Amino acid sequence: MLSIKYTKSAKKDLEDIYLYILQDSKQYADRFINDIEQHISLLINNPYLGKECRYKNIFADCRVLFYKYYLILYKINKDYNNS
């Protein structure tokens, strides 16, 4: 079974988003972070859900998943077996 591993940078980005929204509403900040994490968790069963980055003119070994106005960049572990 696949798992999601966040980089330090990704954790920091989520924290920054949370703190920004928190200035207006704790309820909305909590809900937004929960919603984005649920969206990311879709990758556990659908790792190819996002587009290849090269189609978005990002020349890196990654994929991109969209959530509202946010781009979620991720990589699939090369040991993943799609069968």
Residue 77 — pLDDT band, cuts 50, 70, 90? confident
The answer to whether residue 2 is domain-embedded is no
The answer to whether residue 16 is domain-embedded is yes
> Which token pair is 2?
């696949």
pLDDT digits (tens, 9 = 90+) for 9-55: 999 999 999 999 999 999 999 999 999 999 999 999 999 999 888 76
Domain count, the chain: 1
Full domain range(s) for residue 57: 8-74
The answer to whether residue 82 is domain-embedded is no
Cβ(32)–Cβ(23) below 8 Å: no
Q: Is 53 helix (H, G, I), strand (E, B) or coil?
A: helix
Place of tokens 């200035």: 23
Q: How many residues does the chain have?
A: 83
pTM: 0.81
